[in-house]
Amino acid sequence: MQTYPHSPLAGQMMDQPLAISSILQFAARHYGATEIVSRPVEPGLQDTLHRYTWRDCERRARRMARALAGRGVAMGERVGTLAWNGYRHLELYYAVSGSGAVLHTINPRLHPEQIAYIVNHAQDRILCFDITFLALVEAIAPHCPEVRAFVLMTDRAHMPDGAAIPNLLCYEDLLDGATGEDAWPVFDENAAAALCYTSGTTGNPKGVLYSHRSTVLHAYASALPNVLNVGALDTVLPVVPMFHVNAWGLPYSAPLTGARLVLPGAALDGKSLYDLFEAEGVTFSAGVPTVWRGLVDYVVERGLRFSTFRRTVIGGAACPPALMDTLIDTLGVQVIHGWGMTEMSPLGTTGGLLARHRTLPAAEQRALLRKQGHAIFGVDMKIVDDVGAELPWDGRTAGHLLVRGPWIAARYFRDEGGDILQDGWFPTGDVATIDADGFMQVTDRSKDVIKSGGEWIGSIDLENIAMAHPAVLQAACIGVSHPKWDERPLLLVQRRPGMALGREELLRFFEGKVARFWMPDDVVFVEALPTGATGKIQKNRLREQFKAHRLPAA
Ligand code: AMP
């Protein structure tokens, strides 16, 4: 760890650690009556809504912290979760980290073998799970010998008979049995608090270990007006799962700002979400583009409108311009394009305009909003060429994007991958431009860039154009080898159900929108595009599948 010069006058201000539990204590004290609404996942309860307040949540989380300590969970030990967005998961966010242990949220959409690998790599001592994942936990339990107890996140009435899981406990029983000191423990702000594994398209997933300090700073910064702008007048519904980089910090920024929280459980289809948005008066939400597409299609196809929903952050993958246009122009929802990654807690930049952009023509404003946007205070960024030389912020030159800041990983958990920084900067693996105003635009992942005759072709641009065609549901562009140009773009397209579209018509749609040498060489229509555990298209699988594809002669 880097050390800095020490001032002889240091220590005149209170040295109060930035603790995750302090966020919940603050919410209980100042926004105590504000509601948290959750859709349960237990059979028979899925049509009901559970309601309680930040005050109730704090009391139960504090009790659960004691229960965990009572079960021998020591400082720094990991407690895993396999759970949807719900109130018990929220309690564990605070109970585990607040007790000094480490909350390890696991993505249940991963392959069971990968989940067992992650549980063992993280050395989870307790694994808490929703009833949805009972069969999954039964399958992995024999392969996770270091887990001392499995906790089913439900009450006694919903505990199954004869589950094939050793040391199976009931969450509510555990809570009821808590004894001991009734106050949040206080410890150093650099203590480990939460662990997330990267989705990693190659090799084993790697863990990123957040501290109390990094989490609290990220929560502060992410709530700011130019970032997510959440506050006490908002009802926030995180569609992004609490197992995907801590739902982008919303379980922390909502109580920090006194927002009302709505947790959708497992029902993430268009109808369920729309009904919940309307019934609960949701004003703000967050999610990846694939989920938004489902919700937006449901709303638009039925001629519905949102009555309270005003703002959403879309990130995790590039937001297709067509999706942004529908949300803004048809549905009246402000779209904040967010960029970040697991290694960045996750937020790095958010899109938006500057005051002087207000007078720009609408099309130019929209072009700015499409960019991944401005760095958040705390995140420093630069672009470099292949040998590490810094590139200009001219909005045209694309380079490898490097970042640094107090909520950015310095290493992976258990030092996987060794030293990952380049002169103190974290290489994001993204390729981007930055303009003179500091607006960053991701043009590609380094490994997805199509290298044609020594030039780089950005696959995201080509996908965005294809997805603006009314008959295209989803598109992915990959490079396939070419005898003369090394690689040329191949476009893979999933048509909207019931719509006709041919290769020639789609290629004509590109004319005038890109330079000639950027034109895809071929289009293949597919039934579906493969998506990974966080809903992103898996281009590595497509590259493998189409590596022998023969492009038509030019
Ligand atoms: P993960 O750690 O799984 O959240 O993945 C992080 C990666 O997702 C980033 O490095 C980007 O490649 C991609 N990503 C996230 N947000 C965006 C965005 N708004 N536009 C383009 N790519 C994005």
Q: Give the pLDDT confidence score for residue 388 in this predicted structure.
A: 95
In a domain? residue 226: no
Placement of tokens 């694994």 in the chain: 127
Question: Which of 148, 182, 211 delimits the end of a domain?
Answer: 211
In a domain? residue 540: yes
Q: What is the mean pLDDT of the chain?
A: 95
pLDDT at 407 over 70: yes
Nearest to 97 by CA among 149, 70, 62, 123: 62
In a domain? residue 230: no
* Mean per-residue pLDDT, 459-481: 94
Q: Give the pLDDT confidence score for residue 238 in this predicted structure.
A: 98
Q: Which of 124-128, 202-206, 362-366, 515-519 has the lowest mean pLDDT?
A: 202-206
- For residues 120-152, one letter each, b for 16 or more C-beta atoms within 10 angstroms of the residue's C-beta and e for the rest, the string is ebbbbbbbbbbbbbbebbeebbeebeebebbbb
* Mean per-residue pLDDT, 496-525: 94
| Atom of ligand 1 at shortest range from CA of 429 | 10
What CATH code is carried by the domain that includes residue 107? 3.40.50.12780
pLDDT at 18 over 90: yes
pLDDT at 230 over 80: yes
Question: How many whole angstroms from 316 Cα to the centroid of ligand 1?
Answer: 4
Q: Give the pLDDT confidence score for residue 216 in this predicted structure.
A: 98
Ligand 1 and 449: CB distance under 6 A? no
Residues serving a catalytic function are 198, 343, 451, 456
What CATH code is carried by the domain that includes residue 503? 3.30.300.30
Q: Give the pLDDT confidence score for residue 54 in this predicted structure.
A: 98
What does the radius of gyration of the chain's CA atoms come to, in whole angstroms? 24
Q: Which of 341, 372, 447 to mutate to test the pocket of ligand 1 (most atoms within 8 A of CB)?
A: 341
pLDDT at 168 over 70: yes
Q: Give the pLDDT confidence score for residue 202 in this predicted structure.
A: 61
In a domain? residue 8: no
Ligand 1 and 350: CB distance under 6 A? no
Q: Return the percentage of the chain with pLDDT > 70, whole number.
A: 99
Question: Which of 211, 237, 267 delimits the end of a domain?
Answer: 211
Instruction: Place 545 in a pLDDT band, splitting at 50, 70 and 90.
Output: very high
Residue-range definition of the domain harbouring residue 177: 18-38+45-211
Question: How many whole angstroms from 84 Cα to the centroid of ligand 1?
Answer: 21
In a domain? residue 228: no
The Cα–Cα gap between 281 and 39 comes to: 15
In a domain? residue 292: no
Q: Give the pLDDT confidence score for residue 535 in this predicted structure.
A: 82
Question: How many whole angstroms from 319 Cα to the centroid of ligand 1?
Answer: 10
Q: Give the pLDDT confidence score for residue 394 in this predicted structure.
A: 98
pLDDT at 204 over 90: no
pLDDT at 90 over 90: yes
Helix (DSSP H) and strand (DSSP E) numbers for the chain: 15, 25
Q: What pTM was computed for the model?
A: 0.93
Question: Which of 178, 211, 244 delimits the end of a domain?
Answer: 211
Nearest CA to ligand 1 atom 22: 317
Q: How many domains does the chain have?
A: 2
Question: How many whole angstroms from 412 Cα to the centroid of ligand 1?
Answer: 18
Ligand 1 and 208: CB distance under 6 A? no
Ligand 1 and 349: CB distance under 6 A? no
Ligand 1 and 245: CB distance under 6 A? yes
List pLDDT tens digits, range 45-81. 999 999 999 999 999 999 999 999 999 999 999 999 9
Instruction: Place 356 in a pLDDT band, splitting at 50, 70 and 90.
Output: very high
Q: Give the pLDDT confidence score for residue 167 in this predicted structure.
A: 96
Contact between residue 376 and residue 221 where contact means Cβ atoms under 8 Å apart: yes
pLDDT at 554 over 70: no
* Of 179 and 312, the one with more pLDDT: 312
In a domain? residue 152: yes
* Mean per-residue pLDDT, 102-106: 98
